[in-house]
Amino acid sequence: MRVMRAFSSYGIAAVLVLLIAAWFSTGLFIEGGNGPHGGETSVVSMIEEDGGPITDAVAKTGIALTVHHGEGVEDPANSIAERNALASEVEGELRVVRIERFNIQPMSLEVTLRGHTEAKNTLSVVAQTTDIVEAVSVVEGQKIAKGDLVCTLQSGTRQASIDQANAALAQAEAGLSKANLDFATNSELLAKGLAPENSVEAYAANLRTAEAALAAAKVALNNSEDALEKTIIKAGLSGVVQGPIVEAGAMLNFGGTCAKIIQLDAMVFVGAIPQSRISFARLGMPAEIKTINGLIAQGEVSFISVSSDVSTRTFKVEVEFPNPDGKILDGLTAEALVDMGNIPAHLLPQSALTLDSDGVLGVQTVKDGAVAFYPIEILGDTRDGMWVAGLPPFVDVIILGQEYVTEGQKVDARYAE
Protein backbone atom coordinates (compact mmCIF):
# COMPACT_ATOMS: atom_id res chain seq x y z
CA MET A 1 0.00 0.00 0.00
CA ARG A 2 2.81 2.31 0.97
CA VAL A 3 4.69 1.43 -2.22
CA MET A 4 1.66 2.34 -4.34
CA ARG A 5 1.32 5.68 -2.61
CA ALA A 6 5.01 6.50 -3.07
CA PHE A 7 4.87 5.54 -6.72
CA SER A 8 1.79 7.73 -7.21
CA SER A 9 3.46 10.74 -5.51
CA TYR A 10 6.66 10.43 -7.52
CA GLY A 11 4.67 10.09 -10.72
CA ILE A 12 2.66 13.23 -10.09
CA ALA A 13 5.84 15.14 -9.26
CA ALA A 14 7.52 13.98 -12.44
CA VAL A 15 4.58 15.11 -14.54
CA LEU A 16 4.60 18.54 -12.91
CA VAL A 17 8.33 18.91 -13.53
CA LEU A 18 7.90 18.03 -17.19
CA LEU A 19 5.03 20.51 -17.56
CA ILE A 20 7.01 23.30 -15.91
CA ALA A 21 10.05 22.54 -18.04
CA ALA A 22 7.92 22.61 -21.18
CA TRP A 23 6.36 25.94 -20.18
CA PHE A 24 9.75 27.43 -19.26
CA SER A 25 11.21 26.31 -22.58
CA THR A 26 8.72 28.48 -24.46
CA GLY A 27 10.12 31.61 -22.85
CA LEU A 28 12.71 34.07 -24.13
CA PHE A 29 16.27 34.61 -23.07
CA ILE A 30 17.33 38.28 -23.49
CA GLU A 31 21.01 39.11 -23.72
CA GLY A 32 21.72 42.64 -22.58
CA GLY A 33 23.59 45.22 -24.66
CA ASN A 34 22.13 44.22 -28.05
CA GLY A 35 19.31 46.73 -28.08
CA PRO A 36 15.56 46.12 -28.48
CA HIS A 37 14.71 42.61 -29.85
CA GLY A 38 18.33 42.00 -30.94
CA GLY A 39 19.15 40.05 -27.77
CA GLU A 40 15.96 37.92 -27.60
CA THR A 41 16.43 34.10 -27.95
CA SER A 42 13.96 31.34 -27.03
CA VAL A 43 15.07 28.95 -24.29
CA VAL A 44 14.30 25.93 -26.50
CA SER A 45 16.55 27.22 -29.31
CA MET A 46 19.37 27.61 -26.81
CA ILE A 47 18.96 23.95 -25.70
CA GLU A 48 18.37 22.52 -29.19
CA GLU A 49 19.98 24.75 -31.82
CA ASP A 50 18.91 22.48 -34.74
CA GLY A 51 15.66 21.21 -33.26
CA GLY A 52 14.94 18.06 -31.29
CA PRO A 53 12.32 16.27 -29.23
CA ILE A 54 11.70 19.24 -26.97
CA THR A 55 11.24 21.55 -29.95
CA ASP A 56 8.81 19.07 -31.53
CA ALA A 57 6.90 18.69 -28.28
CA VAL A 58 6.52 22.41 -27.82
CA ALA A 59 5.53 22.87 -31.46
CA LYS A 60 2.72 20.29 -31.02
CA THR A 61 1.29 22.42 -28.22
CA GLY A 62 0.81 25.34 -30.62
CA ILE A 63 2.80 27.73 -28.43
CA ALA A 64 5.04 30.17 -30.40
CA LEU A 65 8.71 29.92 -29.61
CA THR A 66 9.38 33.60 -30.35
CA VAL A 67 7.49 36.77 -29.65
CA HIS A 68 7.08 39.35 -32.42
CA HIS A 69 6.51 42.98 -31.55
CA GLY A 70 4.33 45.29 -33.54
CA GLU A 71 6.37 47.37 -35.98
CA GLY A 72 7.48 50.40 -33.97
CA VAL A 73 4.36 50.67 -31.81
CA GLU A 74 5.59 48.38 -29.02
CA ASP A 75 9.25 49.24 -29.50
CA PRO A 76 10.61 49.82 -25.98
CA ALA A 77 13.19 52.21 -27.46
CA ASN A 78 10.40 54.66 -28.29
CA SER A 79 9.01 57.16 -25.81
CA ILE A 80 5.42 56.97 -24.63
CA ALA A 81 4.48 59.91 -26.86
CA GLU A 82 6.10 58.23 -29.89
CA ARG A 83 4.31 54.94 -29.21
CA ASN A 84 0.98 56.76 -28.93
CA ALA A 85 1.65 58.65 -32.15
CA LEU A 86 2.48 55.40 -34.02
CA ALA A 87 -0.56 53.67 -32.55
CA SER A 88 -2.79 56.49 -33.75
CA GLU A 89 -1.35 56.24 -37.26
CA VAL A 90 -1.83 52.46 -37.30
CA GLU A 91 -5.43 52.84 -36.20
CA GLY A 92 -6.05 55.67 -38.66
CA GLU A 93 -7.25 58.07 -35.96
CA LEU A 94 -6.05 61.56 -34.96
CA ARG A 95 -5.30 62.12 -31.32
CA VAL A 96 -7.55 64.75 -29.74
CA VAL A 97 -5.79 67.59 -27.90
CA ARG A 98 -7.14 70.68 -26.19
CA ILE A 99 -5.67 74.02 -27.24
CA GLU A 100 -6.00 77.63 -26.15
CA ARG A 101 -4.98 80.73 -28.04
CA PHE A 102 -2.54 83.05 -26.31
CA ASN A 103 -1.73 86.55 -27.58
CA ILE A 104 1.39 88.57 -26.94
CA GLN A 105 0.97 91.30 -24.32
CA PRO A 106 3.11 93.81 -22.44
CA MET A 107 4.84 92.45 -19.35
CA SER A 108 6.15 94.75 -16.64
CA LEU A 109 9.78 93.70 -16.20
CA GLU A 110 11.19 94.27 -12.73
CA VAL A 111 14.58 92.97 -11.69
CA THR A 112 15.74 92.67 -8.09
CA LEU A 113 19.42 93.44 -7.64
CA ARG A 114 21.35 92.56 -4.51
CA GLY A 115 24.23 94.70 -3.34
CA HIS A 116 25.12 97.39 -0.83
CA THR A 117 24.93 101.12 -0.24
CA GLU A 118 27.97 103.25 -0.84
CA ALA A 119 28.85 106.89 -0.25
CA LYS A 120 28.91 108.78 -3.51
CA ASN A 121 31.98 110.75 -2.43
CA THR A 122 34.64 110.13 0.20
CA LEU A 123 37.03 113.06 0.52
CA SER A 124 40.33 113.17 2.37
CA VAL A 125 40.94 116.67 3.75
CA VAL A 126 44.67 117.13 3.09
CA ALA A 127 47.22 119.81 3.87
CA GLN A 128 48.61 121.92 1.01
CA THR A 129 51.62 123.01 3.02
CA THR A 130 53.87 121.60 5.74
CA ASP A 131 53.79 122.65 9.38
CA ILE A 132 52.77 121.65 12.91
CA VAL A 133 49.05 121.18 13.66
CA GLU A 134 47.97 124.00 15.94
CA ALA A 135 44.31 123.00 16.46
CA VAL A 136 41.73 120.42 15.33
CA SER A 137 38.19 121.77 15.03
CA VAL A 138 36.22 118.54 14.38
CA VAL A 139 35.54 115.19 16.03
CA GLU A 140 34.76 111.84 14.45
CA GLY A 141 31.10 111.44 13.49
CA GLN A 142 30.47 115.17 13.36
CA LYS A 143 28.33 116.53 10.52
CA ILE A 144 29.92 119.48 8.78
CA ALA A 145 29.11 121.66 5.79
CA LYS A 146 31.30 122.65 2.91
CA GLY A 147 33.74 125.40 3.97
CA ASP A 148 33.71 124.55 7.69
CA LEU A 149 37.07 124.66 9.51
CA VAL A 150 38.67 121.24 10.04
CA CYS A 151 42.14 121.97 11.43
CA THR A 152 44.70 124.80 11.64
CA LEU A 153 48.47 124.75 11.17
CA GLN A 154 50.95 127.09 12.78
CA SER A 155 51.54 130.19 10.68
CA GLY A 156 55.29 130.37 11.30
CA THR A 157 56.91 133.20 9.32
CA ARG A 158 54.06 133.47 6.87
CA GLN A 159 52.62 136.60 8.48
CA ALA A 160 56.04 138.28 8.35
CA SER A 161 56.19 137.46 4.65
CA ILE A 162 52.86 139.20 4.18
CA ASP A 163 54.08 142.29 5.99
CA GLN A 164 57.18 142.35 3.82
CA ALA A 165 55.12 141.95 0.68
CA ASN A 166 52.87 144.82 1.73
CA ALA A 167 55.90 147.05 2.19
CA ALA A 168 57.25 146.11 -1.23
CA LEU A 169 53.86 146.84 -2.72
CA ALA A 170 53.77 150.30 -1.17
CA GLN A 171 57.25 151.02 -2.50
CA ALA A 172 56.22 149.88 -5.98
CA GLU A 173 53.13 152.07 -5.90
CA ALA A 174 55.26 155.09 -4.92
CA GLY A 175 57.70 154.33 -7.72
CA LEU A 176 54.87 154.15 -10.22
CA SER A 177 53.46 157.49 -9.04
CA LYS A 178 56.88 159.17 -9.51
CA ALA A 179 57.31 157.57 -12.95
CA ASN A 180 53.87 158.83 -14.01
CA LEU A 181 54.67 162.35 -12.78
CA ASP A 182 58.06 162.42 -14.55
CA PHE A 183 56.52 161.22 -17.79
CA ALA A 184 53.77 163.84 -17.63
CA THR A 185 56.27 166.69 -16.88
CA ASN A 186 58.51 165.62 -19.75
CA SER A 187 55.54 165.54 -22.10
CA GLU A 188 54.64 169.18 -21.21
CA LEU A 189 58.21 170.36 -21.68
CA LEU A 190 58.41 168.53 -24.96
CA ALA A 191 55.26 170.25 -26.14
CA LYS A 192 56.78 173.67 -25.31
CA GLY A 193 60.03 172.74 -27.03
CA LEU A 194 61.98 172.87 -23.78
CA ALA A 195 62.95 169.15 -23.75
CA PRO A 196 64.90 167.19 -26.33
CA GLU A 197 62.95 164.87 -28.63
CA ASN A 198 64.77 161.74 -27.48
CA SER A 199 63.97 162.27 -23.79
CA VAL A 200 60.45 160.84 -24.12
CA GLU A 201 61.77 157.31 -24.61
CA ALA A 202 63.69 157.33 -21.34
CA TYR A 203 60.70 158.52 -19.30
CA ALA A 204 58.42 155.97 -21.00
CA ALA A 205 60.86 153.18 -20.13
CA ASN A 206 60.95 154.30 -16.50
CA LEU A 207 57.14 154.25 -16.44
CA ARG A 208 56.97 150.68 -17.78
CA THR A 209 59.54 149.53 -15.23
CA ALA A 210 57.52 151.04 -12.38
CA GLU A 211 54.36 149.35 -13.63
CA ALA A 212 56.13 145.96 -13.76
CA ALA A 213 57.50 146.44 -10.26
CA LEU A 214 54.00 147.12 -8.96
CA ALA A 215 52.62 143.98 -10.64
CA ALA A 216 55.42 141.86 -9.14
CA ALA A 217 54.75 143.30 -5.69
CA LYS A 218 51.06 142.39 -5.98
CA VAL A 219 51.93 138.81 -6.97
CA ALA A 220 54.33 138.50 -4.05
CA LEU A 221 51.63 139.69 -1.68
CA ASN A 222 49.08 137.25 -3.08
CA ASN A 223 51.55 134.37 -2.67
CA SER A 224 52.26 135.30 0.91
CA GLU A 225 48.57 135.60 1.73
CA ASP A 226 47.88 132.24 0.02
CA ALA A 227 50.64 130.56 2.04
CA LEU A 228 49.06 131.82 5.25
CA GLU A 229 45.58 130.79 4.08
CA LYS A 230 46.79 127.22 3.50
CA THR A 231 47.40 126.86 7.22
CA ILE A 232 43.61 127.00 7.65
CA ILE A 233 42.25 123.67 6.32
CA LYS A 234 38.53 123.62 5.46
CA ALA A 235 36.02 120.96 4.33
CA GLY A 236 35.64 120.58 0.58
CA LEU A 237 32.11 119.09 0.81
CA SER A 238 29.30 118.50 3.26
CA GLY A 239 29.19 115.19 5.08
CA VAL A 240 30.23 113.29 8.17
CA VAL A 241 33.75 113.34 9.59
CA GLN A 242 35.50 109.99 9.66
CA GLY A 243 38.82 108.96 11.17
CA PRO A 244 41.67 108.88 11.29
CA ILE A 245 41.88 112.48 12.50
CA VAL A 246 45.26 114.17 12.98
CA GLU A 247 46.19 115.21 16.51
CA ALA A 248 47.19 118.72 17.60
CA GLY A 249 50.95 119.10 17.82
CA ALA A 250 51.66 116.54 15.08
CA MET A 251 53.71 117.47 12.04
CA LEU A 252 51.51 117.46 8.96
CA ASN A 253 53.37 117.27 5.68
CA PHE A 254 52.20 118.46 2.30
CA GLY A 255 49.45 116.03 1.18
CA GLY A 256 48.96 114.63 4.68
CA THR A 257 45.40 113.81 5.78
CA CYS A 258 43.81 115.95 8.45
CA ALA A 259 40.51 113.98 8.40
CA LYS A 260 38.12 112.16 6.06
CA ILE A 261 34.63 113.28 5.10
CA ILE A 262 31.97 110.87 3.82
CA GLN A 263 29.17 112.43 1.79
CA LEU A 264 25.87 110.73 2.67
CA ASP A 265 23.71 112.85 0.39
CA ALA A 266 23.49 111.72 -2.31
CA MET A 267 24.22 107.99 -1.90
CA VAL A 268 24.49 105.17 -4.42
CA PHE A 269 23.38 101.55 -4.41
CA VAL A 270 25.96 99.24 -5.99
CA GLY A 271 24.71 95.94 -7.38
CA ALA A 272 25.06 93.53 -10.29
CA ILE A 273 22.63 92.74 -13.09
CA PRO A 274 22.67 89.31 -14.80
CA GLN A 275 23.74 89.18 -18.43
CA SER A 276 20.30 87.86 -19.44
CA ARG A 277 18.80 91.24 -18.44
CA ILE A 278 21.59 93.62 -19.45
CA SER A 279 19.99 94.34 -22.85
CA PHE A 280 16.97 95.84 -21.05
CA ALA A 281 19.00 98.10 -18.74
CA ARG A 282 19.41 101.81 -19.45
CA LEU A 283 20.34 104.97 -17.57
CA GLY A 284 17.58 106.82 -15.75
CA MET A 285 15.44 103.76 -14.95
CA PRO A 286 13.55 104.21 -11.66
CA ALA A 287 14.46 101.93 -8.76
CA GLU A 288 13.41 101.36 -5.17
CA ILE A 289 16.20 100.66 -2.67
CA LYS A 290 15.48 98.75 0.53
CA THR A 291 18.23 98.27 3.11
CA ILE A 292 18.66 95.32 5.43
CA ASN A 293 17.35 97.43 8.35
CA GLY A 294 14.13 98.33 6.50
CA LEU A 295 14.93 101.83 5.19
CA ILE A 296 13.51 102.66 1.75
CA ALA A 297 14.62 105.23 -0.82
CA GLN A 298 13.77 106.04 -4.44
CA GLY A 299 16.48 106.57 -7.03
CA GLU A 300 17.54 106.22 -10.65
CA VAL A 301 20.14 104.12 -12.44
CA SER A 302 23.18 106.37 -12.84
CA PHE A 303 25.82 103.92 -14.10
CA ILE A 304 25.90 100.66 -16.10
CA SER A 305 29.19 98.89 -16.66
CA VAL A 306 30.09 97.92 -20.22
CA SER A 307 32.30 95.06 -19.00
CA SER A 308 31.10 92.04 -17.03
CA ASP A 309 32.73 90.53 -13.97
CA VAL A 310 34.97 87.66 -15.08
CA SER A 311 33.89 85.28 -12.29
CA THR A 312 30.12 85.96 -12.17
CA ARG A 313 29.43 87.28 -15.70
CA THR A 314 27.28 90.04 -14.22
CA PHE A 315 27.43 93.77 -14.92
CA LYS A 316 27.95 96.43 -12.26
CA VAL A 317 25.04 98.85 -11.84
CA GLU A 318 24.80 101.95 -9.65
CA VAL A 319 21.56 103.60 -8.51
CA GLU A 320 21.86 107.13 -7.14
CA PHE A 321 19.32 108.21 -4.54
CA PRO A 322 18.87 111.20 -2.19
CA ASN A 323 19.62 110.76 1.51
CA PRO A 324 19.00 114.22 3.04
CA ASP A 325 18.65 113.05 6.63
CA GLY A 326 21.68 110.74 6.43
CA LYS A 327 19.79 107.76 7.86
CA ILE A 328 21.02 105.34 5.20
CA LEU A 329 24.64 104.66 6.04
CA ASP A 330 27.59 103.61 3.90
CA GLY A 331 28.06 99.85 3.40
CA LEU A 332 24.58 98.54 4.27
CA THR A 333 23.39 95.34 2.58
CA ALA A 334 20.46 96.28 0.37
CA GLU A 335 18.24 95.32 -2.56
CA ALA A 336 17.15 97.45 -5.49
CA LEU A 337 13.95 96.74 -7.41
CA VAL A 338 14.63 98.20 -10.85
CA ASP A 339 11.67 98.91 -13.16
CA MET A 340 12.84 98.08 -16.68
CA GLY A 341 9.55 98.96 -18.32
CA ASN A 342 7.37 96.70 -20.45
CA ILE A 343 8.51 93.96 -22.80
CA PRO A 344 6.39 91.74 -25.13
CA ALA A 345 5.70 88.29 -23.66
CA HIS A 346 3.06 85.56 -23.23
CA LEU A 347 1.34 84.61 -19.98
CA LEU A 348 0.85 80.81 -19.98
CA PRO A 349 -0.41 78.32 -17.39
CA GLN A 350 2.48 76.47 -15.82
CA SER A 351 0.88 73.13 -16.72
CA ALA A 352 1.32 73.91 -20.44
CA LEU A 353 5.11 73.78 -20.19
CA THR A 354 6.84 70.56 -21.23
CA LEU A 355 10.21 69.14 -22.31
CA ASP A 356 11.18 67.83 -25.72
CA SER A 357 13.19 64.65 -26.29
CA ASP A 358 16.43 66.62 -25.70
CA GLY A 359 15.24 68.05 -22.40
CA VAL A 360 14.63 71.56 -23.78
CA LEU A 361 11.90 73.49 -21.96
CA GLY A 362 9.11 74.74 -24.21
CA VAL A 363 5.47 74.32 -25.23
CA GLN A 364 3.66 72.14 -27.74
CA THR A 365 1.51 74.13 -30.16
CA VAL A 366 -0.69 73.35 -33.13
CA LYS A 367 0.02 74.92 -36.50
CA ASP A 368 -1.82 73.89 -39.66
CA GLY A 369 -3.16 70.79 -37.90
CA ALA A 370 0.25 69.52 -36.81
CA VAL A 371 2.19 69.72 -33.57
CA ALA A 372 4.99 72.32 -33.41
CA PHE A 373 7.39 72.66 -30.48
CA TYR A 374 8.73 76.09 -29.40
CA PRO A 375 11.55 76.47 -26.89
CA ILE A 376 10.86 79.28 -24.43
CA GLU A 377 12.61 81.50 -21.90
CA ILE A 378 10.92 82.06 -18.55
CA LEU A 379 10.80 85.76 -17.67
CA GLY A 380 8.77 85.63 -14.49
CA ASP A 381 6.50 83.53 -12.28
CA THR A 382 3.22 84.92 -10.96
CA ARG A 383 0.06 83.55 -9.41
CA ASP A 384 -1.65 83.99 -12.78
CA GLY A 385 0.90 81.93 -14.70
CA MET A 386 4.36 82.00 -16.23
CA TRP A 387 5.61 84.92 -18.33
CA VAL A 388 7.62 83.48 -21.22
CA ALA A 389 9.40 84.72 -24.34
CA GLY A 390 10.12 82.96 -27.63
CA LEU A 391 6.63 82.44 -29.04
CA PRO A 392 4.92 83.98 -32.11
CA PRO A 393 2.57 86.90 -31.40
CA PHE A 394 -0.50 84.65 -31.73
CA VAL A 395 -0.15 80.95 -30.92
CA ASP A 396 -2.41 77.97 -30.18
CA VAL A 397 -0.85 76.17 -27.22
CA ILE A 398 -1.78 72.60 -26.30
CA ILE A 399 -2.94 72.73 -22.70
CA LEU A 400 -4.19 69.13 -22.47
CA GLY A 401 -2.55 66.14 -24.14
CA GLN A 402 0.81 67.76 -24.90
CA GLU A 403 2.67 64.88 -23.25
CA TYR A 404 1.18 62.32 -25.68
CA VAL A 405 2.07 63.92 -29.00
CA THR A 406 5.31 64.63 -30.83
CA GLU A 407 6.47 67.42 -33.13
CA GLY A 408 5.10 67.06 -36.64
CA GLN A 409 2.26 64.70 -35.62
CA LYS A 410 -1.17 65.45 -37.08
CA VAL A 411 -3.75 65.97 -34.32
CA ASP A 412 -7.42 66.80 -33.85
CA ALA A 413 -7.05 70.15 -32.06
CA ARG A 414 -10.10 71.44 -30.22
CA TYR A 415 -10.32 74.70 -28.33
CA ALA A 416 -10.89 74.33 -24.61
CA GLU A 417 -14.18 75.59 -23.28
- Residue 326 in any domain: the answer is no
Domain range for 178 is: 155-230
- What is residue 336's predicted lDDT score, i.e. its pLDDT? 93
The CA distances from residue 359 to 158, 223, 282, 356, 362, in Å, are 82, 78, 34, 5, 9
Residue 388: how many other CB atoms lie within 10 Å: 24
CATH number of the domain to which 381 belongs? 2.40.420.20
- My answer on whether 55 and 87 are in the same domain is no
- My answer on whether 183 and 213 are in the same domain is yes
For residue range 258-278, what is the model confidence (pLDDT) as tens digits?
888 888 888 999 999 888 788
For residue range 180-211, what is the model confidence (pLDDT) as tens digits?
888 888 888 877 777 777 777 888 888 899 88
Number of domains in the chain: 3
**Confidence class of residue 51 from pLDDT cuts 50, 70 and 90?**
low
Q: What is the percentage of the chain residues whose pLDDT exceeds 70?
A: 78
Tell me, yes or no, if the pTM score tops 0.85: no
The one-character DSSP state at 195 is S
**Confidence class of residue 71 from pLDDT cuts 50, 70 and 90?**
very low
**Confidence class of residue 79 from pLDDT cuts 50, 70 and 90?**
low
For residue range 84-110, what is the model confidence (pLDDT) as tens digits?
554 454 445 789 999 999 999 998 878
- What is residue 244's predicted lDDT score, i.e. its pLDDT? 84
- My answer on whether 85 and 26 are in the same domain is no
- Residue 14 in any domain: the answer is yes
- My answer on whether 51 and 85 are in the same domain is no
**Confidence class of residue 335 from pLDDT cuts 50, 70 and 90?**
very high
- Residue 123 in any domain: the answer is no
**Confidence class of residue 354 from pLDDT cuts 50, 70 and 90?**
very high
For residue range 211-260, what is the model confidence (pLDDT) as tens digits?
899 999 999 999 988 888 888 889 888 888 887 888 888 888 898 888 88
- My answer on whether 40 and 91 are in the same domain is no
Q: Tell me the C-alpha distance between 224 and 247, whole Å.
A: 26
- My answer on whether 88 and 30 are in the same domain is no
CATH number of the domain to which 177 belongs? 1.20.5
Q: Is the dihedral of CA 12, 18, 21, 23 positive or negative?
A: negative
Boundary (domain end) residue, out of 170, 199, 230: 230
pLDDT of 65 strictly over 50:
no
Burial group, residue 98, by CB count within 10 angstroms (0-12, 13-18, 19+): middle
